[in-house]
Amino acid sequence: MAGELTGKIAVVTGAASGIGLASAEAMLAAGAQVVMADRDEAALKKHGEKHGADLIPLPIDLLDPKACATLIPRALEKAGRIDIFHANAGSYVGGDLVDNDTAAIDRMLNLNVNVVMKNVHDVLPHMIERKSGDVIVTSSLAAHYPTPWEPVYASSKWAIDCFVQVVRRQVFKHGVRVGAISPGPVITGLLADWPQEKLRDLKEQGSLLEASEVANVILFMLTRPRGMTIRDVVMMPTNFDL
């Protein structure tokens, strides 16, 4: 897809690793300039050295409310405009609810729900004024199925999936498209809490996705004709769907 995003400016949160990194690198390869937002400054520096001037690092801790409020203004100051916003930053809490730490629940819900809503809230006026823009939110297969081993994480994704579908209906008249990507299990750091035997079995079965495969679908969503909204793509490894 080389050149399909030439001239576009994207902002990706949680961009230093996992799906965020794969998304940012896919957009860079397609010709976009990408503001990579993440709290891992060392990783951002490393990626900047690899990709050069088209990658704009933006170190930020989105769980700090004051810092979170500066994301869009800082990105606009660095890049001038925002054509694409990928709200990807998130965390994971799995296991039985009674075993979950309530502080971890608060942190995850804040990042997976509140931060996404605030970031999208802040970027929409810019896109509405320009009458163009794409917002992509990283959701999950867990938003579509009551996954028994992750009630807290699944609930956060059900909430954000509803948010995406409602906001999409509010802003399409302004030329702004809002969609979600809902992958099944992806090989990223978010699976660190999964039982090791479960991860091992899924890897052996070919039942995990690669982050690059998710990024390819994100590019598919972004490069459709402007009159077409891809509102939600659910993707999973075939063996996971048996």
- Enumerate the active-site residues: 153
- Per-residue burial over 197-209, b = 16 or more CB atoms within 10 Å of its CB, e = otherwise: eebeebeeeebbb
Contacts of 121 (CB under 8 A, 6+ apart): none
184 three-class SS: coil
Q: How far apart are CA 69 and CA 35, in angstroms?
A: 16
Type of residue found at 13:
T
Torsion of the alpha carbons at 178, 182, 101 and 62, rounded to the nearest 10: -40
Can you tell me which residue has the tokens 């869009």? 72
